Amino acid sequence: MLQFFKSNQLLNSLMLFPYALVLNHRVFFRDREVVHTDSDGIFSSWIEPFWTQYPIWSSIFYVFLIFFQAILINRLSIVFRIGSEINLFPGVLYLIFVSFFPEFQHLSALSIGMLFFLFALNALFQTYKRHQDTGKLFNAGFWTGVSALFYAPFIAGMLIVIIGAFILKPVKGKDWLLMFNGLLVTYFLTFAIGYAVGMDAGIFLEHYAVPVHFHIPFVPIEASSFVPLLILSTAILLALANYQFYLSKKPLRSKKNIDILYWSLLVFAASTLFFEGVELQHMILVALPLSLLLQDSIVRIENPLTAEIIHLFIIGGVFFFQYQNFL
């Protein structure tokens, strides 16, 4: 099956939808638990009623959402030459990461915010050597703000935008203005529209207050969290250990983009320490950089049969964790 996603063809890309559907088929039959967290933003108020009251439509929406995100991740990889080869492995890896555990498989503010942060990352990558910025940094700040209005910890994405700007181009005073104006415009427009329709200003102030608080999450580690954290930690260590390999034989622009992905991995992993209301699904944030980085580890496997066996073993793990309560 992996060989099917080794080439960038339209049909192969569309096949990511049934792939996502198979991996997430349980969302159509599972109980609808409350998905609200303290980190959910003002744009997320409609998600919980939609998820709990319309199980079929919300499940279809969720599967289509992660499928579309996988398509965007593949586009980022291909357009900006993140991988050593052109393939659809980043999208496959992302779908596996977001589907691996039942705790990840539900429509949430985080999953929708991830879509807008992908827009921000795309705009950031386009700023490479742009001495006359045409609004890309503004767009990066704007989309980061939109994602944070869904899920507050995405505000940490502004640090990624700032670091990425320094990596990709000489940063001047007007670039700072562009980045932060883009971020602030989202909050200003939201407040202005809410004020115009008569919403209570206290609601905005409550949501605009980012729940920053230093703490060590997932301690003590529960049995249900141990395996997900272990697998994600192993994936992160694998990406760190292969830093030089991922950079080798890449053009300068690709190397800079890969450096931004490593910074994204660091910032999103560290964000678990600084935001209240963080639950296990928060770790999906690291799935974005990991899916783009680990693609070369798949390409590195020379024997296609070995790659397929590993892939089937991982898919078996996905199904095991989905049905473990029925065993």
Burial group, residue 67, by CB count within 10 angstroms (0-12, 13-18, 19+): buried
Give the pLDDT of residue 204. Answer: 63
User: What is the chain's pLDDT, residue by residue, as a tens digit (327 residues)?
Assistant: 777 888 888 888 899 999 999 999 888 887 777 666 777 778 888 888 888 888 899 999 999 999 999 999 999 999 999 988 889 999 999 999 998 888 788 888 899 999 999 999 999 999 887 666 678 999 999 999 999 999 988 999 999 999 999 999 888 888 898 999 999 999 888 888 777 776 666 666 665 566 666 666 655 566 566 777 888 889 999 999 999 999 988 899 899 999 999 999 999 988 888 776 677 788 889 999 999 999 999 888 888 888 889 889 988 888 888 777 544
- Whole-number Cα distances in Å, 299 to 142, 160, 310: 35, 27, 13
Give the pLDDT of residue 43. Answer: 82
- Whole-number Cα distances in Å, 94 to 76, 87, 171: 13, 13, 32
Give the pLDDT of residue 291. Answer: 95
Q: Are 299 and 84 in contact (CB under 8 A)?
A: yes
What b/e string do you get for 27-62 counting C-beta neighbours within 10 Å, with b at 16 or more?
A: beeeebeebebebbbbbbeebbeebeeebeebbeeb
Q: Are 298 and 89 in contact (CB under 8 A)?
A: yes
d(CA 283, CA 272): 8
What's the predicted TM-score (pTM) here? 0.92
Q: What share of the chain is helix, strand, coil (3-state, %, to 5)?
A: 75, 0, 25
Range of the domain at 20: 2-326
d(CA 236, CA 229): 10
Q: Are 139 and 182 in contact (CB under 8 A)?
A: yes
State the CB neighbour count (10 A cutoff) for residue 238.
13
What total number of domains does the chain contain? 1
CA dihedral in degrees (6, 92, 147, 234; nearest 10)? -120
- Sign of the alpha-carbon dihedral angle for 30, 32, 38, 41: positive
Q: Are 179 and 165 in contact (CB under 8 A)?
A: yes
Give the pLDDT of residue 121. Answer: 96
DSSP-derived secondary structure for 139-181: HHHHHHHHHHHHBGGGGGHHHHHHHHHHHHS---HHHHHHHHH
Give the pLDDT of residue 119. Answer: 96
Give the pLDDT of residue 138. Answer: 93
